[in-house]
């Protein structure tokens, strides 16, 4: 240390205050020298070694990301029906929400996809903010499965390693994809291939870490980065760039195993990866509605809170002893297995954060509602989609299920307007005409909006053959439902004509209209049961009801002609009645067409 610095402190006296400053300045100077030496050594390294290690790392990251995507895509397709049923459930139980989020994320191997999908559910009004929050908590637990799998693949040195064994699954899966005839087994082959490639990528990343570990300059450089906050920031930034916390955690595992960083450094990098994973949700939330933005904010607050809590805990432990740290604790819990130490910390970190935050979910929801208040809607009655959202395209099998719910809702609106039109024409009460017009506008919007959504959804590769087949039927189904609304609109026009001429239907005619209404509503109930549950028995029953409607509408025409001959009905009212009878029969035809769509799914 230069003499002028020593002399400077000697002149200040020997009291404790200046002595403390002297030692702090000494430590800063020593750190500066160490950092300067590390940087000098780093740039003195051979260019070839650096480039080789970096390229190997990039190769490993690339293969790892592709493997995650392949596993996610094929897992979604192979388990699409179960996955759809899982995420379609919305419950008031917080623990169930956590379980759904955890199982769903473990199934599709992507917390980002789960979070984006949850944002879509909230945006569509399917689940509440509180339910979305618990599912996001669960997604953080589910994503720890990847770290556990990666840690498992790092065992074995003198014997055949698990990495080599698991990597062989890539070849097994590839053969299955090439030679399997059934779509299901090709998906299974894709899962095996992705699983095997996961370990091929891991092997390359570990290799690059081993290369870096042999370079004294790199070890000296990394040893200088001991500040927990800085390590968390590095982990968060890197995760935000590659948009995969799994990759960041896997790299941290490889660095710890090869001795490139200490366990404590790896722990703080892993904590940072949790914070960085919020970027995907934030991007999805910004482009969506108010509740979707709040959901993204909940995700950010939850992950940042976990990071802050554990950083504070680390600081407090450090006050008591230099040897007291998360690394020391997990080293004692799982001695001589650094990969397990870090993987278990990752799991315990996420589970502990959920346990702490879960009881505070209500307060968290209130907080984000205050931070992002409701804005006044200029037109609250404007048409919209109720159950689907572009964010759901990230998880196509679930989007297919929600598309079906959207079509079912469209049918409910259409039959509602049909019943409303019959009320208007039989009672000549136009008080519901504005509501009728609003729903007709909604039906016209859904007709085009659902089709546009299905076109985008059909391009997704994660869909099973059955889902593809279903989507091809939706074009006709949506059109049939929209036509029901058109016939209802015709009936309202007939009511307007009757009002203008001062005429109305006879009591016998009104009774027949009520009878055909009962039959059509019965048909609607059976068709929607057949459509929703793919219930062929219900469809067979619906066909029988449709035959009754055909017969009854013919009876309506015959009876009306008889009434006209007796002078009980005027010719003007008779013309509207015959048109109404024909419209009712056409409504039944369109309903039966919707039910026919399930035949293509056999």
Q: Does any domain span residue 390?
A: no
Percent of the chain at pLDDT > 90 equals 34
Residues 173 and 254 in one domain: yes
> Which positions ≥6 away from 16 have C-beta within 8 Å?
none
Identify whether 516 is part of a domain. Answer: yes
Note every long-range contact of 247-250, with CB atoms under 8 Å and residues 24 or more positions apart, other chains counting.
247/61, 247/64, 247/65, 247/68, 248/272, 248/273, 248/276, 249/146, 249/147, 249/150, 249/273, 249/342, 249/346, 250/64, 250/146, 250/147, 250/150, 250/201, 250/202, 250/205
Looking at the structure, do residues 40 and 51 belong to the same domain, yes or no?
no
Same domain, 302 and 423: no
- Say whether both 139 and 119 belong to one domain: yes
Cβ atoms of 202 and 250 within 8 Å: the answer is yes
Q: What is the pLDDT of residues 377-400, one digit of tens each?
A: 545 568 888 888 887 787 787 788
183-241 per-position pLDDT tens digit:
778 878 888 888 788 778 877 877 777 666 666 666 677 667 888 999 999 989 888 87
Identify whether 469 is part of a domain: yes
- The answer to whether 74 and 190 have CB atoms below 8 angstroms apart is yes
Average pLDDT of the segment spanning 405-416: 95
3-state secondary structure of 481: helix
User: Within this chain, do residues 496 and 367 fall inside the same structural domain, yes or no?
Assistant: no
Mean pLDDT of 447-463: 89
**Does residue 384 belong to any structural domain of this protein?**
no
Question: Of 27-36, 222-231, 287-296, 588-597, which one has max mean pLDDT?
Answer: 588-597
Model pLDDT for residues 531-560, shown as the tens digit of each residue: 998 899 999 999 999 999 999 999 998 888
**Statement to judge: residues 210 and 183 lie in one domain:** yes
Task: Check whether residue 31 and residue 54 sit in a common domain.
Answer: no
Last residue of a domain, one of 321, 356, 371: 371
Would you state the pLDDT for residue 378? 47
Q: Calculate mean pLDDT across residues 147-157.
A: 72
- Work out the average pLDDT over 10-31: 44
Mean pLDDT, rounded, for 251-270: 88
Who has greater pLDDT, 142 or 222? 142
Cα pseudo-dihedral 203, 204, 208, 213, rounded to 10 = 0
* Count of domains observed in the chain: 3
Residue 376 phi, psi dihedral angles, 5° rounding: -70, 125
| CATH number for the domain harbouring residue 425 | 1.20.58.220
471 and 352, same structural domain? Answer: no
Q: Measured between alpha carbons, how far is 378 from 387 in angstroms, rounded to an integer? A: 22
| Whether residue 74 is found in the same domain as residue 127 | yes
pLDDT of residue 382: 80
Whether residue 302 sits in one domain with residue 217: yes
Q: What is the DSSP string of 409-468?
A: HHHHHHHHHHHHHHHHHHH---TTHHHHHHHHHHHHHHHHHHHHHHHHHHT-TT--HHHH
Judgement on whether residues 346 and 413 belong to the same structural domain of the protein: no
pLDDT of residue 438: 94
Q: What is the DSSP string of 533-585?
A: HT-HHHHHHHHHHHHHHHHHHHHHHHHHHHHHHTTSS-HHHHHHHHHHHHHHH
pLDDT for the residue numbered 198: 75
Q: Can you give the pTM of this predicted structure?
A: 0.66
Of 486 and 35, the structure prediction assigns the larger pLDDT to 486
The 10s digit of each residue's pLDDT in 469-519 is: 899 999 999 999 999 999 999 999 999 988 888 888 888 889 999 999 999
**pLDDT at residue 31 is higher than 50:** no
For residue 388, tell me if it sits in a domain: no
Same domain, 350 and 438: no
Pull the structure tokens for residue 151: 């840690």
Instruction: Give 95 or 449, the one with higher predicted confidence.
Output: 449
pLDDT of 39 > 60? The answer is: no
Q: Is residue 21 part of a domain?
A: yes
End residue of a domain, out of 338, 356, 371:
371
Q: Span 58-70, mean pLDDT?
A: 78
* Domain extent at residue 40: 3-44
Boundary of a domain, candidates 333, 355, 371: 371
With respect to residue 376, please indicate whether it lies within any of the assigned structural domains. no
Round to whole Å and give the CA distance between 192 and 173.
5
pLDDT band at 411 (very low <50, low <70, confident <90, very high): very high
Residue 387 lies in a domain: no
DSSP class per residue in 56-85 = HHHHHHHHHHHHHHHHHHHHHHHTHHHHHH
pLDDT bucket at 457, cuts 50 / 70 / 90: very high
């Amino acid at each position: 240390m230069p003499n002028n610095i020593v002399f400077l402190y000697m002149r200040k006296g020997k009291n404790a205050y200046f002595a403390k400053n002297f030692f702090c300045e000494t430590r800063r100077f020593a750190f500066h020298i160490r950092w300067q030496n590390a940087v000098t050594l780093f740039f003195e390294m051979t260019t070839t070694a650096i480039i080789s290690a970096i390229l190997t790392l990039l190769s490993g990251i690339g293969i790892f990301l592709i493997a995650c995507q392949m596993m996610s895509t094929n897992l979604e397709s192979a388990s699409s029906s179960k996955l759809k049923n899982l995420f379609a459930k919305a419950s008031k139980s917080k623990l169930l929400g956590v379980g759904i989020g955890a199982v769903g994320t473990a199934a599709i191997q992507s917390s980002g996809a789960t979070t984006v999908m949850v944002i879509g559910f909230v945006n569509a009004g399917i689940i509440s903010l509180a339910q979305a929050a618990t599912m996001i908590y669960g997604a953080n637990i589910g994503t720890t499965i990847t770290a556990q799998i990666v840690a498992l693949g790092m065992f074995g040195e003198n014997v055949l390693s698990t990495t080599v064994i698991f990597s062989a699954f890539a070849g097994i899966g590839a053969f299955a994809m090439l030679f399997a005839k059934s779509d299901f087994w090709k998906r299974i082959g894709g899962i095996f291939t992705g699983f095997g490639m996961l370990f091929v990528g891991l092997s390359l990343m570990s290799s690059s870490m081993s290369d870096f570990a042999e370079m004294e300059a790199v070890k000296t450089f990394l040893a200088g980065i001991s500040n927990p906050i800085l390590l968390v920031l590095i982990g968060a930034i890197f995760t935000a760039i590659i948009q995969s916390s799994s990759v960041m955690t896997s790299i941290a595992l490889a660095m710890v195993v090869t001795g490139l960083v200490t366990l404590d450094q790896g722990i703080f990098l892993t904590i940072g990866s949790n914070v960085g994973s919020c970027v995907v949700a934030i991007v999805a939330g910004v482009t969506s509605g108010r509740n979707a933005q709040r959901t993204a904010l909940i995700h950010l607050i939850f992950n940042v809170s976990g990071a802050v809590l554990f950083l504070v805990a680390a600081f407090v432990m450090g006050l008591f002893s230099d040897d007291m740290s998360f690394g020391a604790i997990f080293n004692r819990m799982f001695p001589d297995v650094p990969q397990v130490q870090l993987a278990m910390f990752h799991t315990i970190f996420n589970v502990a954060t959920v346990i702490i935050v879960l009881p505070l979910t209500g307060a968290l929801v209130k907080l984000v509602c205050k931070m992002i208040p409701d804005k006044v809607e200029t037109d609250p009655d404007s048409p919209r989609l109720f159950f689907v959202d572009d964010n759901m395209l990230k998880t196509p099998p679930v989007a297919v299920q929600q598309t079906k719910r959207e079509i079912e809702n469209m049918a409910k609106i259409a039959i509602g307007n049909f019943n409303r039109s019959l009320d208007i024409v039989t009672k000549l009460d136009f008080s519901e005409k504005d509501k009728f017009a609003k729903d007709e506008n909604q039906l016209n919007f859904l007709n085009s909006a659902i089709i546009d959504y299905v076109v985008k959804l059909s391009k997704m590769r994660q869909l099973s053959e059955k889902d593809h087949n279903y989507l091809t039927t939706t074009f006709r189904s949506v059109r049939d439902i929209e036509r029901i609304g058109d016939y209802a609109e015709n009936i309202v026009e007939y009511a307007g004509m009757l009002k203008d001429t001062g005429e109305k239907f006879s009591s016998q005619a009104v009774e027949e209209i009520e009878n055909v209404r009962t039959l059509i509503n019965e048909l609607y109930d059976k068709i929607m049961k057949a459509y929703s549950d793919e219930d062929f028995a219900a469809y067979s029953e619906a066909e029988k009801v449709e035959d009754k409607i055909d017969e009854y509408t013919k009876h309506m025409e015959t009876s009306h002609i008889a009434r006209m001959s007796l002078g009980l009905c005027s010719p003007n009212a008779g013309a509207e009645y015959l048109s109404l009878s024909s419209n009712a029969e056409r409504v039944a035809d369109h309903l039966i067409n919707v039910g026919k769509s399930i035949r293509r799914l056999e």
